[in-house]
Amino acid sequence: MDAHITPGDVGGTVRAPPSKSYTHRAILAAGYSDGAVVRSPLDSADTRATARAVEAFGGTVDRDPDAEASGGTDEVAFAIDGFAGDPAVPADVIDCANSGTTTRLVAGAAGLANGGTVLTGDASLRSRPQGPLLDALEQLGARADSTRGNGQAPLVVFGPISGGDVAIPGDVSSQYITALLLAGAASDEGITIDLTTDLKSAPYVDITLEVLADFGVDAGPIGSDTAAGADGFRVAGGQRYAPDDGTYTVPGDFSSISYLAAAGAVAAAPDDAVTVRGAVESAQGDTAIVDVLERMGADVEWDRADATIHARRSDLSGVEVDVGDTPDLLPTIAALGAVADGETRIVNCEHVRYKETDRVSAMVEELSAMGASVTEDPDTLTIHGGESDLHGATVDGRGDHRLVMALSVAALVADGETTVQGAEHVDVSFPDFFRTLADLGVDVDLG
């Protein structure tokens, strides 16, 4: 599906979608439990993949009409009957579709099953690195293989593991750590994780620790109060997943909020703003988008008490941004840099090449097609705003939801209509993205 976007002013009030990161963890945590209700989850292609995995391990995931009625007509709630920390051996292959998060988190659960679990997904997912997690599971006593011997899906994991000590790098994917922490609480002995390299994307592990605590599970970093700077992590075994009152509520998603706040900063109508509700303060690293916008000179205000962000059109200036802990913000910041005056340098971004696509090179090529001046080094993306003059073009979203949304933001201020190919991929994290843009006044045609 193509999205045809005509540039123009935006304004109004919209609600942020629920967090994808929290939803994945909450669904699986509820799966590890005897049962729980997850309120306000993101119901998207990626999170449905995690729900299918819970069912493959013997749980059930259903919409809860009673919870929805009590929470309001727009609230989704999942009633999850868990597998109580003892995942069954799946009767079939688990299809993780395009969700790398599902693959990694579920591989940890597969290590607890008394038999073999096969995990696969689409072509993009089958190109992403899983080797360090497979090695970690083998250190814990599982047999964990890539069927092609290249550290990529399809994966085959034979358990059960009982826990123990494991050494793993922290600079490839924080999701490996999350998978081991989630599984470790349900193991007999617990798991102690020794990081062999510095941890990147540390806030995502803080999210995991926050969700675990909300489900009554004790886990924490070693050598630090937070994931950043930790030497490793420890989770005791034999723990029971059980949230207070049997319910857990998912906060709003700051990765998705970044596109809406950016839209306000570059295209809000005079005397108007983009107001985003649901901006609940949490462990999400992508709350950094507020600081990035402020440093670029944007008129942006985050009312934490009211969980609301207001963003108004501003003259932006280029800055340097380290995305070591916030890889999902790279496409948004790149789009902002193409509008800003001066040079925007996005550093510490090599790990962003191993997402749904190589997001560094992809943003270079697609923003260049729109008239931006962009260059790349292995670990740095530079947008030369003063040499950029955005114009309408046909750009390829590369099957990557974050590219589609970031390019749509750039389209708001391009000269002429922009066609973003692969618009349907927003279903991964923000299914109502284009409807939300329309609510803000964007002329968008989904052809």
Bind-site residues for phosphoenolpyruvate: 20, 100, 128, 175, 359, 402
Query: How many C-beta atoms lie closer than 10 Å to residue 429's C-beta?
Result: 26
Whether 389 is catalytic: no
Q: Contact 93/58 with Cβ under 8 angstroms? A: no
Is the distance from CB of 251 to CB of 280 less than 8 angstroms? yes
Q: Which residues contact 289 (CB under 8 A, 6 or more apart)?
A: 254, 257, 258, 261, 262, 329, 332
Beta-carbon count within 10 A of 19 CB: 29
Q: Are 355 and 308 in contact (CB under 8 A)?
A: no
Rg (CA), the chain: 21
Measuring CA to CA, how many Å separate 228 from each of 91, 175, 176, 288, 430?
Answer: 39, 14, 15, 15, 28
SS3 250: coil
Tell me if residue 334 falls in helix, strand or coil.
helix
Work out the number of other CB atoms within 10 angstroms of the CB of residue 432: 16
The two structure tokens encoding residue 46: 């990626």
Cα dihedral sign, 130-133-135-140: negative
What is the pairing mode between strands 308-312 and 299-303?
A: antiparallel
Check if the beta carbon of residue 22 is closer than 8 Å to that of residue 73: no
Which residues are part of a known binding site for 3-phosphoshikimate?
A: 20-21, 25, 173-175, 201, 328, 355
Cα–Cα dist 340/342, whole Å? 6
* 251 DSSP assignment: P
The string of DSSP codes covering 87-128 is PPPPSS-EE-TT-HHHHHHHHHHHTTSSSEEEEE--TTGGGS
Peptide bond into 154 cis (omega under 30): yes
User: Residues at the annotated binding site?
Assistant: 20-21, 25, 100, 128, 173-175, 201, 328, 355, 359, 402
Which of 81, 328, 396, 400 is the catalytic position? 328
Active-site positions read 328
